[in-house]
Homo-oligomer: A and B are copies of this chain.
């Protein structure tokens, strides 16, 4: 099999710079209060003005990253700083924890129960520090990061509804995100501190949450790492597992660890084979590791981020290991993705398809989908394909 990487690079770049980014610059900026609207309908019209800290941070990160890595466009930096000012002014409680959501004018709506608000804020301010060199951004990024590490043992804090002691579970999401965040923020931290965090995260992601018999990644495990035969313990989120593998490939590249890269590639392919819908195409959203009935009513849906993150893992995996299976799967996932998600009439991409690949919800953004996975993935595939030309 051969792929024309030059064409791949052009296509992903053109989609990023010619469709997706203009959609967000045209429709999402709140010029009155700062920050971004992310609840955009199919046409890009704002249908809800609430501001979700996950998505505020992610969009700041995205525009700062474009400025740092694509082109020093003042407009991109301005957009990032517009979001950063809003977050800086309104985003945290008195203890420096990031709220989950805010009103359009910045009043807190939902308490800081969700540590990923903090993760995406740290990521945003660390990337913005790279763009500006401003110490205040560095302080917010590192202060938030240390707070995340401090809270990691009990991320939901007083909002934890599980009774301690009966069934203590650990969740895959946090070590997974830390694999990526550690690389995003390492220029601001002591080398030793970063190394310790990275080696802990790699161990979590590659060993603790890995089911060696089935070759799949568990979303939750008992706190001693063993399997929990419960709804949470049986849960598989294929997109999470595959996305984590490109975070690990980036760490493997950083450390020149070819064996780690090869293992991450094997796992990417295995999870993908296990979660591809042979009837309708696309990757399932959730599976049960024992095949038991799921509680997630959305289990069979096809989501934008799952497919985009898979494309990133496959092309990075191919570049690092030369594994031909990565190319075969890249072509298959690419074809599914491009024929189902982009909206050629009104721009940007749909987020939520049903099992058959039909549009389930036509909006371009909401409480969870913002300016992040599609543009970040397009950028990652573009830049990786360029290196393969």
Query: Footprint of B on A, CB under 8 Å?
Result: 39, 41, 47-48, 50, 99-100, 103, 107-111, 113, 158-159, 161-163, 166-167, 229-231, 290, 292-295, 297-301, 352, 354-355, 360-363, 366-368
Contacts and interface: CB of A to CB of B under 8 A. Distances in A.
Contacts of A366: 293, 295
A111 B158 CA distance: 12
Contact of A103 (B111, B166, B231, B298): B166
A290 B300 CA distance: 27
A interface SS class = loop
A109 B47 contact: no
A293 B41 CA distance: 7
Contacts of A99: 163
A204 to B, nearest CB: 24
Contacts of A299: 361
A108 B366 CA distance: 35
Contacts of A158: 158
A366 B167 CA distance: 19
Contacts of A297: 297-298, 301, 352, 360-361
A366 to B, nearest CB: 6
A114 to B, nearest CB: 9
A47 B110 contact: no
A53 to B, nearest CB: 13
A99 to B, nearest CB: 8
A381 to B, nearest CB: 26
Contacts of A298: 297-298
Contacts of A290: 47
B110 A163 contact: yes
A362 B161 contact: no
Contacts of A360: 297, 300
A166 B230 contact: no
Given A231-B50, A298-B298, A361 B293 contact: yes
B352 A109 contact: no
A161 B41 contact: no
A168 to B, nearest CB: 11
B292 A361 contact: no
Contacts of A354: 300, 354-355
A144 to B, nearest CB: 20
10 contacts: A41-B293, A47-B293, A48-B229, A48-B292, A107-B163, A108-B166, A110-B162, A113-B161, A158-B158, A294-B361
Contacts of A363: 293
Given A47-B293, A48-B292, A294-B361, 15 more contacts: A47-B290, A50-B231, A100-B161, A103-B167, A107-B163, A108-B163, A109-B163, A111-B162, A231-B367, A295-B366, A297-B297, A297-B352, A297-B361, A300-B354, A354-B355
A230 B111 CA distance: 17
A234 to B, nearest CB: 8
A103 B163 CA distance: 11
B48 A231 contact: yes
B167 A292 contact: no
A172 to B, nearest CB: 20
